[in-house]
Amino acid sequence: MKQSMKSKGFERRLLLIMWGLFLSLSAFAQQISIKGHVVDAAGEPVIGASVVEESTTNGTITDIDGNFSLKVSPKSMLTVSFIGYATQTVPVNGKTSLTITLKEDTEVLDEVVVIGYGTMKKSDLTGAISSVSSKDLMKQPSPSLGAALQGRATGLQVISSGAPGDNVSMKIRGIGSINNSDPLLVIDGVPTDVPLNMINMDDVETVDVLKDASATAIYGSRGAYGVIIITTKKGKSDAAHFNFKASYGIEKAIRTLDLLDATQFASLHNEMMTANGQPQNPLFEDPTSLGRGTNWTDELFQTAAIQNYSLNYSGGNDKTTYYVSAAYFNQEGIVRTTQYERYTVQFNMDTQMNNWLKMGNKLSLNHDIKKKGEYSIKNTMLALPTQAIKNDDGSWAGPVGLPMYVGDIANPIGKMMTNSTATKGFNILGNIYAEVKPWEWLTFKTIVGVQALFWDDKGWSPKYDWQPISQPESYASRKYNKSLTLLWDNTLTFNKTFAEKHQLTVMVGSSAQSNTYEYLGGSIMGFISPTAQQLDNGTLEPTVNGNGSDWALLSYLGRINYTYDNKYLLTATIRRDGSSRFSKKNRWSNFPSVSLAWRLSEEPFFKKSFWLSDVKLRAGYGLTGNQASVGNYAYASTIQTIQYNFNGTQVNAIAPSVMPNPNVRWEEVEQYNVGADLTMIDGRINLSLDAYIKNTNDMLVDMVVPISTGYSDINVPKINAGKMRNKGFEVSVSSRNLVGEFSWNTSLNASYNKNEIIRLNGDVPMYFDNNIHAVGHPVSSFYGYVTNGIFQTQEEVDRYAIQTQGNDPYNRTSAGDIKFKDLNNDGIINDKDRTYLGSPTPTWIFSMNNSFAWKGFDLEIFLQGAAGNKIYNANRASLEAMSVAQNQMTTVLDRWRGEGTSNSMPRAVFGDPNKNGRVSNRFIEDGKYLRLKNVTLGYTLPAAWSKKAAMSSVRFFVSGQNLLTLTRYTGLDPEISGSGNDNNVYPIARNITFGASVSF
């Protein structure tokens, strides 16, 4: 019986195996081998086209002759796609041979670029413009739009700030002036000065960066240093779409500096005091008994959370489209007590009222909260490890004793945790427009825009009695700000083609914009209770202050675009601006530009080939202006209220604060640009090259005002007496390395810029911080002494040029001090021996992005960097000073202790009699770096799975930012803005983010 059952079980398994083989053979028998040929509209083979059997992973790509072969089901559908062509789905219908003709995708080939008061096909551009799409932006979960733009466009330098809510620093084609040289920001047609972190990045459709004068001259007096145009998303006339995206991440400091522990510091301090003939701290008699002590930076930095949630709803029909979104963003800082929260709402709508009238609006509402606390990264690092953070009773501790022993830094953690500062903002940015089109070739558009910014600052500091300086009374402050900007633009555009070869577009228009700013503030001391922080509750020393200003700009503009036979292109613009910032005789100015392009590849003599299929050459020239560096009333005499003693009585009076300059006028930027756009390797590689010279004429510099005039010789007016030059080139390459089921795309950007000051107000340099503006050198160059090793013996000191002389062995240059070069060979080291030590501005900025896709997986690896600049490590200047009671870095453990012990790190000596810490190349470091800026891995669920859950798309991703930085710089982070001084700069953080996006 058992044998019979086993026999039957075997027979069942055998039948199942045979049935499986039958089904497999049947399926195999149903497949056919098919050969095909893919060509374009001209009959030329399309190389690398993707051919995939629909709803399967079975596919291939075409060879160099456009041929392919594939085994498929006879009733299957083939999906054929290639970049630049419309995707086609072709039925097999049992055929074994197919010829497939791909049609050009006009949406791809004629990508539209926003150029200011209009749009243009990318193929028709004659100027230097870079575009960044929402697809590129969405690949990384950056904390702000500005940070996401870093490395995405040639010529655009973006320097991020690690502090939550801080705006990025942006420059286009170098620093154009010693004054404000930031680019103009235009959002949905409204020129604005809102920070980029106000914008929800998921609402952005495109970012267009206008770089040369032929592109920016349409913005006249505000286009001198480039224009960044941001366009938000619109709805589409199809089914409604609902999208939700959520992400959560953690951030940590990329690095912290190694500081001395209590034992090491006590030993250093004993040595420092002995070298200056001072008595040692009795508490440091046995340094080893102090152990490791307090690690202050552990209490300063934290692992922080960052989260972002956004949803949008869009859709429409052939008459009306809409886009509505809401988002919440919350970023804690890696420094405790710092935080940024943002709430945004976007509402965009377009309605075709009838066949000649279209109306719409774009509206953005924003509320943000920025908390800072009173932190100091530098003071926290300098705090002594021998001091406690809190007393035994839990109160905040303070250094108690002589400053020479305990220093003069108040408890930095206590101040950070008890003092608070916060800014709350309520912002509105938007426009409404009407577009009238009486004929197909004529369009009139009017747009009314508004920017309303309201923000208030709140500060609170409770009383405390910590050493070394107590605060006997609590202090509160408030400041309320209001800025209202109104805009009214009108344009009339004529667009017509004549005789099939002549395409002409003419635009004329006007623009009027005005701004009013007001603030009111107050402060008071003497609060009975720390819980009652309203100004009414204070009792001592109340203050009140307030002020306001306004400006207005009226403009007339025009542009002509002409194309002949799709080969020769001309763009000419003119703008006439009148600004309230200038006197009547200098109020108006004209800003013209012209650019040409030649599509060489459309000439009969040009033979298109696999290697080179499209060539366009460009050249342009233009004049733009800058008024951002001019005060609202620079041409007039501003006054202030003062008090003075008259016969023993305090008398109020009004006096001028700054000498007026009725001759002040625009800074004018003259720019030349040549470029070329090439398409190679059968469309797989696109290359753009640009070279430029940008001269800033009539640059505003400080006027020399003799005190005998009665005006201030410190607060002086600006005069148009300077000149600056930037010249460089840009290279942008995009390539499709692999196509098909596994794809790999690469983009590479590199920009070189050389900056030089040509003229100032006379030959006298302008000194500030550790920098100098001087003719023949880059802006903000470092200026100081040059080191020449360490004195090893007193005899060597006596033979060298005099540095600090004297008979007191404790207060003169001695063995172990730094030797500074006697550059003028006069035997004395003084200010005349200072020289130029490098530029803080990079000459090179570069990036590379690689995108991979396989089935549902996508991977992006983004590298970004800069080179050619120097950084003044001001933190090191304090943390390697070894001259006062402040903690130091562990690098001082290699300090000079006797002949031959060191030739780079000087001795430790209280008071630093030789001024070893003076500005010199000792603290100037190489600022170049290469950063693994972003790595994102995503997975999109198969469409069939999503449909079962009533969703159209589901994607999960994990992303890491600032994962690795290759640099020789020894500070916290090499990404330093401004004049290149790393002094208490909030460092960039490393973060890991997890997220998901869902579409319905």
CA-to-CA dists, residue 112 to 105, 118, 200, 890, angstroms: 13, 10, 22, 56
Among the listed ranges 324-333, 530-539, 788-797, 958-967, which one has the minimum average pLDDT value? Answer: 530-539
Mean pLDDT of 924-937: 96
Among the listed ranges 302-306, 739-743, 778-782, which one has the minimum average pLDDT value? Answer: 739-743
Residue 436, in any domain of the structure: yes
Q: Give tens-digit pLDDT for 611-628.
A: 898 999 999 999 999 888
Residue 40, in any domain of the structure: yes
Q: Give me the pLDDT at residue 14, please.
A: 43
123 plus 197 within the same structural domain: yes
Q: Give me the pLDDT at residue 815, please.
A: 95
Q: Give me the pLDDT at residue 781, please.
A: 96
Mean pLDDT of 939-949: 82
68 plus 159 within the same structural domain: no
5 pLDDT more than 70: no
Domain harbouring 207, CATH code: 2.170.130.10
Among the listed residues 850, 861, 728, 864, the one whose alpha carbon sits nearest the alpha carbon of residue 153: 864
* Percent of the chain residues past pLDDT 70, beyond the cut: 96
Mean pLDDT of 421-450: 95
Domain harbouring 48, CATH code: 2.60.40.1120
126 plus 213 within the same structural domain: yes
Cα–Cα distance between 240 and 1000 in angstroms, integer?
A: 8
Cα–Cα distance between 485 and 194 in angstroms, integer?
A: 11
94 plus 139 within the same structural domain: no
Categorize the per-residue pLDDT at 84 as very low, low, confident or very high, splitting at 50, 70 and 90. Answer: low
354 plus 426 within the same structural domain: yes
Return the SS3 of 878.
helix
17 pLDDT more than 60: no
437 plus 347 within the same structural domain: yes
What is the 3-class SS of 406-417, one letter each residue? HCCCCCHHHHHH
699 pLDDT more than 60: yes
Residue 680, in any domain of the structure: no
286 pLDDT more than 90: yes
Q: Give me the pLDDT at residue 142, please.
A: 82
Categorize the per-residue pLDDT at 83 as very low, low, confident or very high, splitting at 50, 70 and 90. Answer: low
Residue 411, in any domain of the structure: no
**Among candidate residues 232, 258, 293, the one where a domain is terminated:** 232
Q: Give tens-digit pLDDT for 196-228.
A: 888 999 999 999 999 999 999 999 999 999 999
Mean pLDDT of 397-403: 88
Mean pLDDT of 421-436: 95
Name the average pLDDT for the chain: 89
Residue 312, in any domain of the structure: yes
Cα–Cα distance between 307 and 993 in angstroms, integer?
A: 9
Range picked from 64-73, 378-387, 656-665 for highest mean pLDDT? 378-387
Question: What are the strands of the beta sheet with 67-72, ordered from one edge?
Answer: 67-72, 32-39, 97-101
Q: Give tens-digit pLDDT for 98-145.
A: 888 887 654 444 577 888 898 888 888 899 999 988 888 877 778 888
* Percent of the chain residues past pLDDT 90, beyond the cut: 64
80 plus 142 within the same structural domain: no
Q: Give tens-digit pLDDT for 487-505.
A: 999 999 999 999 889 999 9
132 plus 50 within the same structural domain: no
155 plus 77 within the same structural domain: no
Instruction: Locate all alpha helices (DSSP H) within 628-740, ordered by sequence.
Output: none
Q: Give me the pLDDT at residue 978, please.
A: 80
What's the domain count of the chain?
A: 3
Residues near 85 by Cβ (< 8 Å), separated by ≥ 6?
A: 40, 46, 49, 102, 103, 104, 105, 108
54 plus 156 within the same structural domain: no
Q: Which residue has the higher pLDDT, 37 or 642?
A: 37
Residue 969, in any domain of the structure: no
Q: What residue numbers bound the domain in which 36 lies?
A: 30-101
262 pLDDT more than 60: yes
DSSP 58: -
Residue 424, in any domain of the structure: yes
Q: Name the residue type at position 200.
A: N
Residue 143, in any domain of the structure: yes
**Among candidate residues 78, 101, 124, the one where a domain is terminated:** 101
96 plus 116 within the same structural domain: no
202 plus 326 within the same structural domain: no
Angle subtended at Cα 623 by Cα 627 and Cα 766, rounded to the nearest 5 degrees: 50
**Among candidate residues 45, 80, 101, the one where a domain is terminated:** 101
Q: Give me the pLDDT at residue 24, please.
A: 41
Q: Give tens-digit pLDDT for 291-304.
A: 999 999 999 999 99
- Environment class of 354 (CB within 10 Å of its CB; exposed 0-12, middle 13-18, buried 19+): exposed
Mean pLDDT of 329-341: 95
Among the listed residues 34, 20, 166, 17, the one whose alpha carbon sits nearest the alpha carbon of residue 92: 34
